[in-house]
Amino acid sequence: MALLIRKRVLTRATASTNSEDDVPNLPTPLVPADSVAGRSLVIVIAIMTFLAALAAGAALLVADASAEWRREAGSEASVQVRPTPGRDIEADLKSAAEILQKTPGVREAQVYTKAESEALLTPWLGKGLDLTELPTPRMIVVKLDPKSRPDLESLRTELNFAIPSAVLDDHHIFVERLGDMSRAAVAVAVMIFILILVTMGIAVASATRAAVATNREIVEVLHIVGAADNFIAQEFQRRFLALGLKGALIGGAAAIAFFALAQMAARNWRATASADQMQAMFGDFALGAGGFAVILILAGAIAVLTGYLSQVTVFRHLRRLG
């Protein structure tokens, strides 16, 4: 059987060196079409593609959520008016609201009641605490026009002159921290993505070397009789490209199904406290058409990378043969 395979492969190689148009259609390929190693490689590529797609999808979700956070935080400011002896806090609130409303770039100034201001302290102080005797600051939420933002420094100076106890916060520190956090999360996801690709590359290279070792006698005979290195390498490349495409499509489809199910689950759990926190962190798990397109492109790139790595590995082996 081995002699028959070798004879068929030699005939195919010789025909390819003489005329590429007259290559016979042989039933026995240089690289076996189905083997335990091939099936194992498909499983490995599918798992790696799934993990790489999860890392890429998580990076997209965090980046989109961070942009939404910063956009919302940057569209608002707040004014804190502290009660001081000898001043009427209600009058101070009214004066601050008038200054804010006449400032160009301010769309709305909402004065919080004493109960609403005290409710903002609940996450830190807990529920059921009587704050009536404490000098609780009063809050004014300011909606800013994103197309024509006001001069906040001038506004801060004007507020301090009219109401000394008023403090304007434009949330810039919070926005900067959100940006740093999102960039760190995206960087971690990218590092995980790169490590997954490197691991997959090592697996493909090892599988290619194993395939070459299995067919070592045939490869060496082909090389001795003058078969072009491109012909031998392309045989392996085509086979591993097919394996890579199969595994990448399985892994990519699994990743798309995972994100679709996560989005459906997030919609069903939206009313729970844990779901609200997850939505605040990652949005509503909606990748959208662009995110799914990225996963499909990633699957195609992994398939091409698999074929390319197998070709490079075979070329290195052939160079060692001289």
Predicted confidence at residue 20, as pLDDT, reads 42
Judge whether 138 lies within some domain.
yes
Residues 120 and 157 in one domain: yes
Predicted confidence at residue 3, as pLDDT, reads 39
Residues 51 and 186 in one domain: yes
At position 141, the amino acid (one-letter code) is: V
Domain count along the chain: 2
Residues 298 and 219 in one domain: yes
Predicted confidence at residue 252, as pLDDT, reads 92
Residues 315 and 211 in one domain: yes
Per run of 10 residues, the mean pLDDT along the chain (length 322 residues) is 42 45 48 68 89 87 77 79 84 88 86 80 67 76 82 85 86 76 83 86 82 75 74 80 90 91 74 56 67 89 87 80 65
Judge whether 18 lies within some domain.
no
Predicted confidence at residue 21, as pLDDT, reads 46
Residues 92 and 138 in one domain: yes
Residues 150 and 37 in one domain: no
Angle, CA 296 vertex, CA 292 and CA 299 arms, to 5°: 140
Residues 239 and 317 in one domain: yes
Judge whether 4 lies within some domain.
no
Q: Which of 164, 187, 222 is the last residue of a domain?
A: 164
Residues 149 and 181 in one domain: no
Q: Which of 120, 136, 164 is the last residue of a domain?
A: 164
Judge whether 129 lies within some domain.
yes
Judge whether 13 lies within some domain.
no
Residues 96 and 59 in one domain: no
Judge whether 27 lies within some domain.
no
Residues 253 and 313 in one domain: yes
Instruction: Tell me the helix, strand and coil percentages in the chain, rounded to 5.
Output: 70, 5, 20
Residue span of the structural domain in which 159 resides: 83-164
Residues 199 and 306 in one domain: yes
Judge whether 48 lies within some domain.
yes
Residues 182 and 271 in one domain: yes
Distance CA 270, CA 169 (A): 31
Q: Which of 130, 164, 198 is the last residue of a domain?
A: 164
Judge whether 148 lies within some domain.
yes
